[in-house]
Structure 1
Amino acid sequence: MMTLMTSMLISFILPMTVMTIATMLSKKSINDREKSSPFECGFDPKSSARMPFSIQFFLIAVIFLIFDVEIALILPIVIIMKTSNIMMWTMATMFFIMILLLGLYYEWNQGALKWAS
């Protein structure tokens, strides 16, 4: 019981000590206006570096990433077909594709795929 408490205490104190030391050492002490400003060929920037972007573009990018990952999940299905029961393979594949199509329909119905509003 004592070794368990000791190991728990060490596993708590050691990472906290390392994190504290790393935080203290990583702080920048000198704030320079030129180094903290965005780089634009040595000239002062004409506008803010934090320009707003279209939320519609962000939504399309997220939807693309989601469907891209799903395509990566579909690719091994062809390889699995050779070693599995064809009826179970067909049911699982159809179920997966149905979920993809329902997600696409939902996004389309919500208007997330319309670029101009």
Structure 2
Amino acid sequence: MATELVLSAMALLGIAIVIPLFMLVTTVFGPRAGGTAKNEAYESGVKRMIGLAEQKFSVKYYMLAILFLLFDIEAVFMYPWAVNVRELGWFGFTEMFVFMVLLLTGLFYILKKGVLNWR
């Protein structure tokens, strides 16, 4: 068992060394993409930046990102429940019902507070 652990650790260490070395070699010796767009500050086509780079974002963007993560995680919790809904029975159904009621309460709260209003 100890030899298997040592071999696994050596394999992991080897992979951790080989992959960055391979990336470095391809970056240094790989083909260069031509064109003037690659030499520009913003490859997206923006020629002139408006405002300073240190410009602060509004808190609304952060609130929206947090709300997205909240409801995205809610969907992640619903997938396993949907797969096992028949095996869980009424107990699983009531648990998910309570979970959804709590989330809908939170959604109504943020709608009432006007978090999603951008005016």
TM-score by structure 1 length? Answer: 0.50
1: distance between equivalents of 2:15 and 2:5?
A: 16
Q: Partner residue of 1:70? A: 74
1: distance between equivalents of 2:2 and 2:65?
A: 53
Q: Partner residue of 2:18? A: 18
Structure 2 counterpart of 1:59, one-letter code: M
1:59 counterpart = 2:63? yes
User: Superposition RMSD on alpha carbons, in Å?
Assistant: 4.6
**Size of the alignment, in residue pairs?**
110
Paired residue secondary structure (2:103): helix
Q: Partner residue of 1:80? A: 85
Cα displacement string for residues 46-69 of structure 1 (whole angstroms, at most 9, x for unaligned residues): 536856543303322431453255
**What's the CA shift for 1:7?**
0.8
Q: Partner residue of 2:3? A: 3
Q: Partner residue of 1:45? A: 48
Paired residue secondary structure (2:115): coil
Larger Rg: 1
CA contact (8 A) 1:107 1:113 kept: yes
Gaps of 5+ in 2: none
Structure 1 counterpart of 2:64, one-letter code: I
Structure 1 counterpart of 2:50, one-letter code: S
2: distance between equivalents of 1:80 and 1:116?
A: 39
1: distance between equivalents of 2:41 and 2:18?
A: 31
CA contact (8 A) 1:56 1:115 kept: no
2: distance between equivalents of 1:61 and 1:21?
A: 36
**What's the CA shift for 1:6?**
4.6
TM-score by structure 2 length? Answer: 0.50
1: distance between equivalents of 2:64 and 2:97?
A: 25
2: distance between equivalents of 1:48 and 1:26?
A: 36
